[in-house]
Structure 1
């Protein structure tokens, strides 16, 4: 009989019970996409940062997968040029969360609970998610608009940013999950995901995905593969979907159903760092 972590991994590797709708963030003033369950009020939500030069369409199945499990998933399509501002992408991620928490989504008036928000990202989009989480933790000046309060952050092959994601990580007390790739030649774990995880102020986990490269999580073909090492990898995509889903369901919805998966090594996703600060 399969062990419980393996059973949970298999369960979360498949789409969830919700029918999924796709929307265009441009309709509310920000280029990008949003995936939602067909119905629901007070849902959890995440904003996802794309990697260097990557269109949001390369993460379509990941975002759709999260929505099928009841998590609204939005991705701004900004800062896609060769010289992006990581700081501005971080701000756009927070703006995305502001947008989806203040407007009703979908034909049936889907809503997001501003107390159940997370951030995620790939490559420099992962680094920008870290910057955004640190920004949200900063004190708000009197009279200024409140920032979204981030409850969880997950990255896949996170890359350092300017300013440094490592420095930003020291201000983040929300739980973090960082997935590195063992064949990543663009952002090797030692100077990127591992450094970010080691600097994390809150509970944090670092996993290494086997047989995976920097672009393993992306979907389809894109001309940027001529510049960046790696290519889409089905196993990486499946592991990322399952682990991100378990992580965000646990930390944004309060369920403990998937803790056994988060606390265990699984094939090709071994835990390299597990740090639970004392209460």
Structure 2
């Protein structure tokens, strides 16, 4: 079995063993998408918040990847205008977790464990994920963000109340949400176990997929190398903290190429 960080990273950049089903959250009254393993009881689930102006479809590969590794992944398609309400977006992320835990998924062979819930997001969706976790509307076990942006109310203030594990990925060349004022600030305010990694050769939109008109307004473009890193690190993080497996600790505890650990108070202690 793979045990070295590089081998674990390579393992998790590939799709997992599960066949994946795609569903529509709108059937439960909330616009958005959900990806699930074809079967499974008591599965972990993650609600993902999209970036500013981005449709959830720009994260299809990431959501599909998480589902292939046994994690139900859902993304609401709300607050997509130029002036989104971060507070309402956070509420929508909580509602998304309500939906996947309370509504029949797939052909009836899928269920989610309310004790295995996580939140994630990109850009404003990352900040909203922090707000959602701090709201207390769901008993979330872990939060992961990529190129997180500040929110109103501030995600940094919400982070001070969170004793759960956090993983924050900053893009080295991000001109929209620079690490120092966003992901780094959130990580350093985090009350619980936390890690900040910097994704090399990455821009604000590196994690997104395909083309979208918003690229005329926002700096950066999709980058496959960044997408692979985010998929692997998110998968390792959520499998570890939502299912209790220790298999991926070596990867989470180590720096890897283009994803150096830049802040980890536990390691520094």
The TM-score range, normalised by the shorter chain, is: over 0.9
- 3-state SS, counterpart of residue 40 of structure 2: coil
Residue 254 of structure 1 is matched in structure 2 by 244
Output aligned runs, 1:16-55, within 5 Å: 16-55=16-55
**Cα shift at 1:177:** 0.1
- 2:212: which partner in 1? 222
Q: Shift of the alpha carbon at 1:216?
A: 0.3
**Pair 1:83 & 2:91 matched:** no
Structure 1 unaligned regions, length at least 5: 137-146
Contact map agreement 2:36 2:72 (CA 8 A) in 1 = yes
Provide, for residues 205-229 of structure 1, a one-character-per-residue CA deviation record: whole Å limited to 9, x for no partner.
Answer: 0000000000000000000000000
Q: Which runs of 5+ in 2 are unaligned?
A: none
1:236 aligns with 2:226: yes
Quote the residue 1:271 is aligned against.
261
- Aligned length, in residue pairs: 266
The offset of 1:271, in angstroms, is: 0.1
The equivalent of 1:113 in structure 2 is 113
Q: Does structure 1 residue 245 correspond to structure 2 residue 235?
A: yes
Contact 1:63 1:74 in 2 (8 A): yes
Do the aligned residues in 2 keep the contact of 1:133 with 1:153 (CA within 8 Å)? Answer: yes
**Inter-partner Cα distance in structure 2 for 1:274 and 1:247:** 14
Give, in angstroms, the shift of residue 3 of structure 1.
7.6
Equivalent residues in 2 for 1:118-137, closer than 5 Å: 118-136=118-136
CA positional deviation for 1:276? 3.3
Tell me, what secondary structure is at the counterpart of 1:150? coil
Could you list the structure 1 runs, at least 4 aligned residues long, displaced by more than 3 angstroms after superposition. none
CA deviation profile, 1:68-101 (whole Å, cap 9, x unmatched): 0000000000000010000000000000001110
Aligned equivalents of 2:138 and 2:172: distance in 1? Answer: 33
Instruction: Report if the CA contact (8 A) 1:202-1:276 is conserved.
Output: no
Q: Which residue of structure 1 lines up, in the alignment, with residue 164 of structure 2?
A: 174
Does the 8 Å contact 2:130/2:143 carry over to 1? yes
Map of 2:5 onto structure 1: 5
Select between 168-177 and 104-113 the one with higher mean Cα deviation.
104-113
